[in-house]
Amino acid sequence: MIRLKNIFLAPLLAMSSITFAQGTFANSNIPQSYDSHPSSIVKDFTAPEKLMSPKELLDININAMSDDPVLRNANWGFVIYDPKTKKVVSSYNETTPLIAASTTKLLTTETAMSLLGSNFRWHTLLEHSGEIDADGVLQGNLYIVGSGDPTLGTNKAGASSYSAIAADFLDALSSKGIKKVNGDIIIQTAIFKSNKLNQLPENIVWLENGSYYLPAGSTSEISPQNEKLIAKSSNPFSESKNFYYISPYIGQMVYADKFEGAALTTKVADPPAYLANTFRTLLVKRGTSVTGKVVTRLTETNPEPRVKITAYSSPALSEVVYYINQRSDNALAEATLRTVGFQKKGDQTASSGKIVVNEHLKSINFDLDGLNYMDGSGLSRSNVVSPISQVKFLTGLMDRNYFRNYFDSLPIAGQTGTLKSQFVGEGNGQIFAKTGTLNKVKTLAGYLKTNSGKTYVFSLLINNYAGSVDQVKNRMEQILKPALQL
């Protein structure tokens, strides 16, 4: 960690710190009590700064920030790292373990791309048992076999809607000459068997649970949109003001996208069941009768021979990762964690996913000192990592064959995703990074392209800051902007 007070003369440091703070924070939304230095001081001490190198200015800026009212009592760490020389350019508390928030998704999504490949897809199969007679009657059952597709029916990352998938299934059924189904529509959901037991990760404050997916029970015979609102609370820390309610069907708190007084829009409770019911409804509307009902089976004690009719494929993993990192989608991140657990350990649980991620990080020599990986999304405040670990991890990815897809998934400062409203002036289009937000936690980690065309890796983790979210965002911009001159 750089200790500039041992490098520069105290008077020069004091003057430079005051000057830099005044020059860069003048337009911030800081309470009047935070801006106590007279503006006339700026005019007196601009010459020494002009003689300093970009690195010296960066170091002085960091030192000044350590005394800033917003950060003075915060726990925070920062590091700028040169991926070519493998050396730290500038840093502050770089080895301190800090709450990572949604920068945790960097580990989750990279593990998935490394182990599964950028082109990995989830497949949902439509199959039938029995025989099709001369009149086009299927004397058997239809099967919808899921694979844990987290995008199923959501329209996320380019995924198809339930109605579109159901229409494709119906077309495939018609091409087989099936005009009537004398049997049930069976949902094979063995891969989802643990979902009914899902609990929030350890140490999550529920008001920070912005979009964590909690299953609301089967949608068989019900529509989630028609559930009655029993209790609601808005999230004061969320810009979108999300809502929560107690499902009358399972008696548990679940997440709702929005509440407008009467209508409630919820997360779909059981995607395979919702697809199956949508499919059955469409079959009946189009004149293909189904004598049976929708049935969910976790296991088949006496499996019957089945014939594939068609399959729906999810968007590629690279597209899902793009959606996760651009929008910081917690639901997809948690589902991706469970997918790597299932693919490598055979069960779709968070615990298996965490084991796989930790094993992977160890295999690529991730600096595990201070790391605590608790979930796939970063919602748990128990997720901690050091800034130096993050930058070395991100540096190591730059020669991987999937790096371009991974890099492209990161929000671009001033332009896309969760960074669209930051660095709209200086730094616009030059910072590519994952954001993170919890109550009194703001984090940012990724890559920075300087004005001279060099690429650096950085991590900035701020915990327990004072002031508002906008104020700490402003400080984050001021910390990074001098690095653009390197």
Helix (H, G, I), strand (E, B) or coil at 196: helix
Nearest CA to 321 out of 108, 145, 137, 9 is that of 108
Q: What is the pLDDT of residue 330?
A: 84
Q: Which two tokens stand for residue 280?
A: 């059955």
370 vs 274: CA distance, rounded Å: 42
Q: What is the pLDDT of residue 255?
A: 52
Q: What is the pLDDT of residue 15?
A: 42
Instruction: Give phi and psi for 273, each to the nearest 5.
Output: -65, -40
For residues 192-204, one letter each, b for 16 or more C-beta atoms within 10 angstroms of the residue's C-beta and e for the rest, the string is bebbeebeebeeb
483 vs 486: CA distance, rounded Å: 5
Could you tell me the pTM of the whole model? 0.77
Helix (H, G, I), strand (E, B) or coil at 204: coil
Q: What is the pLDDT of residue 61?
A: 87
Q: What is the pLDDT of residue 150?
A: 82
Q: What is the pLDDT of residue 256?
A: 53
**How far, in Å, are 26, 32, 38, 59, 214 from residue 42 at the CA level?**
11, 18, 8, 19, 54
Domains, the chain, with CATH or none = 4-116+320-485 (3.40.710.10), 123-225+259-315 (3.50.80.20)
323 vs 378: CA distance, rounded Å: 16
306 vs 412: CA distance, rounded Å: 48
Q: What is the pLDDT of residue 50?
A: 55
For residues 424-435, one letter each, b for 16 or more C-beta atoms within 10 angstroms of the residue's C-beta and e for the rest, the string is eeebeebbbbbb
Could you give the residue ranges of the DSSP H alpha helices within 259-367? Answer: 271-285, 317-327, 330-345, 350-363
Q: Which two tokens stand for residue 54?
A: 């970009």
pLDDT tens, position by position, for the chain (486 residues)?
Answer: 444 434 333 444 344 443 443 333 333 333 333 333 333 333 343 444 457 888 888 888 888 888 899 999 999 999 999 999 999 999 999 999 999 999 999 999 999 999 999 999 999 899 999 999 999 999 999 998 888 888 888 888 999 988 899 999 999 999 999 999 999 998 876 554 443 333 434 433 333 333 333 332 333 333 444 444 433 444 444 444 455 554 444 445 555 555 554 444 445 546 677 788 889 889 989 899 999 988 877 666 677 899 999 999 999 999 999 999 999 988 789 889 989 998 898 877 888 999 999 999 999 999 998 899 999 999 889 999 999 999 999 999 999 999 999 999 999 999 999 999 999 999 999 999 999 999 899 999 999 999 999 999 999 999 999 999 999 999 999 999 999 999
For the stretch 303-350, pLDDT in tens is 789 999 999 999 999 999 999 999 998 878 988 998 999 889 887 788
Would you call 134 exposed, middle or buried from its count of C-beta atoms within 10 A (0-12, 13-18, 19+)?
Answer: exposed
Partnered with residue 458 across adjacent β-strands are 80, 446
240 vs 235: CA distance, rounded Å: 8
Q: What is the pLDDT of residue 270?
A: 60
